[in-house]
Every structure is written in C-alpha cells, then in structure tokens.
C-alpha cells in the first residue's frame, strides 16, 4: 500500500463529498509527497533514488511504499482492449457517418468513446468502474484519467462539455475509493477540470515544450502538477532541460523520459529530472 491520499487530502475529499461540492475546488497543499517523480507506463521497474511518486498502468502493481498513480484511459479504449468494447458495448464507441469507429490518429489502436449523451457517459463510467476498483484494490493512491481532449479528435461529434461531464463521473468513482484524481493534459480546460470535474491534481506531457505549464500550475499549484517532457519535443522548441527547470512556471515535479517510456533495463531508457 502507498500513501493513499494523505490526511489533508482525505479530509478535503470527505468534506466536499458530504457538502455535495466538486472536489478539487481547493486543492490541498501536500497532496503529493515531496521528492522526485517517475512515469512508468511502458513498463514497471524499481524507481530511481529520490523518487517518491510513480505513475504506472492500471494493469501493473503500485510501487511499494511510494505514492502510486494508476493510469486509466478514460475517454478512449485501452490498447489491446478494443475487442472487449466492440463485443460487449459497441454502441459506446464513437463512429463516423459510415458507422466505422473513430480512432486516435496518433494511437490507431485506440478508439474514441462516445461521450455525447448522458446515458452514454453513465454506461462508460460503469464499464470503467471495474478498472478504478482494481486500482483501489491493488493499493494505488490516485488515478490519472487520460485523453480528456478526445473531443478535439472527434470531428466535431464531441465537445469539451461532453468530456468534462464524463470526467466528473470518473472523478467521483475515484473519490468513492478515497483515491485522488488527476487531469491528464488538455491545458485549455484546466480551470474547468478542477472546478467542474473535481480533479485534484494534474499530469501533463510536454507542457514546457508547448509553453503550457503555467496553465496547469496557476490552477493546481506548482507542487500538484506531474510534468513529463520528451527530448524530441524539447529540441524542437529549442529548449534544454536545464532551461526548463529554471523557468518560473515549471512544475516542481518535472521529469525527462524517453518517448517509449521503457523500463530501465531496456534500450533507449532515459530518466532525468530537475
């Protein structure tokens, strides 16, 4: 078991749930433990020295004794899991005018989920409840819900309002287990993600490369943002890690990782931090 949400965060979660308000309106200080951060979606491995917060896939086990965040694809199908969605709930897959599932151009094995109706959002949350249950049972402390921005890839079939409405349901699933919930990317909706969906902290990729870090830290605070940067994106932006770390808007927990997020014993592994 890891730290879970921590006393301050758990108190904030309980107070908000009892009052009926959105959790995350006042993100508690100290939600994430002090120390380094690692992003291990490509394979679990013993974290480097000084790391206290680790993100791993929902199919992995949490890092023993560390604050562990469970990755869940909340708005698209998980790679390798499309068959189950197609067989059991095909109506929850977003489709084009020809009835074909709409895929993420960057991840062709991921199909967008149809968040356009209240009924659909409820059923998606029911399907994903099993994954969140598994995160809690395994001993994770928080959940990262990926692809909040799927509406941008929907050809106008989905809206930010649709996805934020589903996000609120997913955050509620996490909070019922005492887990914190993280917004993933979608800088333009950080304020609404916190205020309306109830996210407690944020996980971002390439926010320095895209000059977006302040959009997250202004909402969640510099200590409640986990930032991942990649060498190619930084090079394209003309940035080095040292310059990123020195910038005032850079989250205090920023890590440089290889694009495959491979395990430490695999070729191409890279982990560096501020």
The CATH classification of domain 7-207, taken from the options 3.40.190.10, 3.30.470.10, 3.10.20.440, 3.20.20.70: 3.20.20.70
Q: Distance (Å, rounded) from C-alpha 253 to C-alpha 266?
A: 24
Q: How confident is the model at residue 79 (pLDDT cuts 50, 70, 90)?
A: confident
Q: 229-268: per-residue pLDDT in tens?
A: 999 999 999 999 999 999 989 999 999 999 999 999 999 9
Q: Distance (Å, rounded) from C-alpha 189 to C-alpha 24?
A: 14
Q: How far apart are the first and last CA of the chain?
A: 27
Q: How confident is the model at residue 80 (pLDDT cuts 50, 70, 90)?
A: confident
Question: Reduced to 3 states, what is the DSSP secondary structure of residue 196?
Answer: helix
Which residue would you say has higher pLDDT here, 9 or 163? 163
pLDDT on residue 12: 40
pLDDT on residue 38: 98
Q: If you search the block for the tokens 């014993």, which residue do you land on?
A: 265
pLDDT on residue 14: 38
Residue 226 contacts residue 32 (beta carbons within 8 Å): yes
Q: Distance (Å, rounded) from C-alpha 240 to C-alpha 139?
A: 36
189: pLDDT strictly greater than 60 = yes
DSSP state of 209: T
Q: If you search the block for the tokens 């709409």, which residue do you land on?
A: 102
33: pLDDT strictly greater than 90 = yes
What residue ranges do the domains of the chain occupy? 7-207
Q: If you search the block for the tokens 């869940």, which residue do you land on?
A: 72
The whole-model pTM stands at 0.88
CB within 8 Å of 18: residues ≥ 6 apart: none
């Amino acid at each position: 078991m890891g730290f879970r949400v921590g006393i301050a965060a758990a108190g904030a979660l309980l107070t908000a749930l009892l009052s009926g308000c959105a959790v995350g309106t006042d993100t508690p200080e100290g939600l994430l433990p002090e120390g380094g951060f690692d992003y291990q979606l490509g394979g679990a491995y013993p974290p480097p020295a000084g790391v206290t917060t680790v993100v791993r896939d929902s199919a992995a086990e949490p890092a023993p004794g560390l604050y562990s965040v469970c990755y869940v694809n909340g708005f698209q199908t998980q790679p390798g899991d499309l068959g189950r969605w197609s067989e059991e709930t095909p109506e929850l897959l977003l489709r084009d005018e020809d009835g074909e599932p709409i895929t993420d151009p960057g991840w062709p094995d991921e199909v967008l989920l149809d968040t356009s109706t209240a009924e659909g959002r409820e059923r998606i949350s029911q399907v994903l409840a099993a994954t969140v249950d598994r995160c809690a049972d395994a001993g994770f402390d928080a959940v990262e819900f990926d692809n909040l921005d799927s509406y941008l890839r929907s050809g106008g079939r989905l809206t930010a309002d649709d996805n934020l409405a589903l996000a609120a349901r997913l955050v509620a699933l996490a909070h019922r287990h005492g887990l914190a919930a993280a917004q993933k990317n979608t800088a333009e909706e950080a304020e609404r993600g916190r205020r309306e969906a109830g996210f407690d902290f944020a996980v971002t990729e390439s926010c320095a490369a895209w000059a977006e870090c302040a959009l997250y830290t202004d909402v969640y605070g510099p200590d409640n943002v986990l930032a991942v940067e990649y060498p190619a994106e930084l090079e394209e932006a003309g940035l080095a890690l040292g310059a990123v770390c020195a910038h005032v808007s850079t989250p205090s927990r920023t890590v440089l990782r290889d694009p495959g997020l491979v395990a430490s014993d695999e070729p191409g592994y890279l982990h560096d931090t501020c």
